[in-house]
Amino acid sequence: MSSSTTPVWFITGCSTGFGRELARAVLERGWRCVATARNKASLADLADGASDRLLTLDLDVTDPKQIAATVEAALKRFGSIDVLVNNAGYGYQAAIEEGVEAEIRAQFDVNVFGLFAMTRAVLPSMRARRKGHVLNITSLAGLAGYAGSGYYAASKHAVEGWSDSLAIEVEPLGIKVICVAPGPFRTDWAGRSLKQTPNRIADYADTAGKRMQNTAQSTGTQLGDPVRAAQTMLKITEVSDPPHNLLLGAASLEGGTKRLRDLLDDIEKWRETSLGADFPAGT
């Protein structure tokens, strides 16, 4: 396979963490990569030995003009975008009552509305070619809410639900949508990509407060390996029937499975009550 026929990956949020490791993995495979970050200077080292297969671009996913410009530049350089990875995003921790309106909205602008806009910009070229993959990096928080992470979980739940609808719409057009939900991974997410509220209410110290403290102290001890995660994401784009939901890591698998089982148990327990909300049969 020549370099001009290898798949083109467009990855947002490559300055650190999953985005950076994924860009490295794509280039090491001999594929082509559009790597973006708020400051593309932070991506200079990715070009070592792969400058002909790499395009680095400045991108703030909350800026519609930048989104349009980067997609245009990617198509001009490589002719296609085969895989879009919506990785840009960050965490915001606060008890629900402690949340700051401006911080909540800023997180949704990146994690939700930026992801929506990025995908809308790439879909026309994928539709025209009747092929493509959209990988949305969600989180275990997209399946289960935890104390201190309500607003982050809300942003990731939004992406999960939106992705369900998108998958139905684009499947007949040859486009696959995959929600990748990591648990805790050994990245610098807690150090660089996590904001915590300065507002602290004593009544939440043992719930949200304790979890925020544990999250801040967990860096470097997580079980998840971002390099292995990147390789996994490459693999799922090469199979004919990829999963719509992929849980990454033992913590995500255990937590996601428990949440879904608890949900089913709750539904079954209250089945008759649910059915009782309908008109009686025959009326």
Domain spans, the chain: 8-252
Q: At 3, is the pLDDT very low, low, confident or very high (cuts 50, 70, 90)? A: low
Q: What is the pLDDT of residue 184?
A: 80
- pLDDT at 84 > cutoff 90: yes
* % the chain with pLDDT above 90: 81
Q: At 249, is the pLDDT very low, low, confident or very high (cuts 50, 70, 90)? A: very high
- Listed as own residue / partner, the contacts of 250-259 with beta carbons closer than 8 Å and 24 or more positions apart are 250/183, 250/223, 251/140, 251/183, 251/184, 251/222, 251/223, 251/224, 252/140, 252/181, 252/182, 252/183, 253/183, 255/140, 255/143, 255/144, 255/183, 256/140, 256/143, 256/144, 256/181, 258/144, 259/143, 259/144
Q: What is the pLDDT of residue 214?
A: 81
Q: Which residues are catalytic?
A: 152
Write out pLDDT tens, residues 86-134. Answer: 999 999 999 999 999 999 999 999 999 999 999 999 999 999 999 999 9
At 86 the three-state DSSP class reads: strand
Q: What is the pLDDT of residue 194?
A: 81
Write out pLDDT tens, residues 139-158. Answer: 999 999 999 999 999 999 99
CATH of domain 8-252: 3.40.50.720
Beta strands in 51-165 (DSSP E): 54-58, 83-86, 91-93, 132-137
Q: At 221, is the pLDDT very low, low, confident or very high (cuts 50, 70, 90)? A: low
CA-based nearest residue to 160, from 45, 256, 250: 256
Q: What is the pLDDT of residue 212?
A: 86
Q: What is the pLDDT of residue 12?
A: 98
CA-based nearest residue to 181, from 236, 213, 127, 137: 137
Q: What is the pLDDT of residue 4?
A: 66
Q: What is the pLDDT of residue 218?
A: 64
pTM of the model: 0.93
Q: What is the pLDDT of residue 205?
A: 93
CA-based nearest residue to 224, from 192, 179, 187, 180: 187
Which carries the bigger pLDDT value, residue 191 or residue 154? Answer: 154
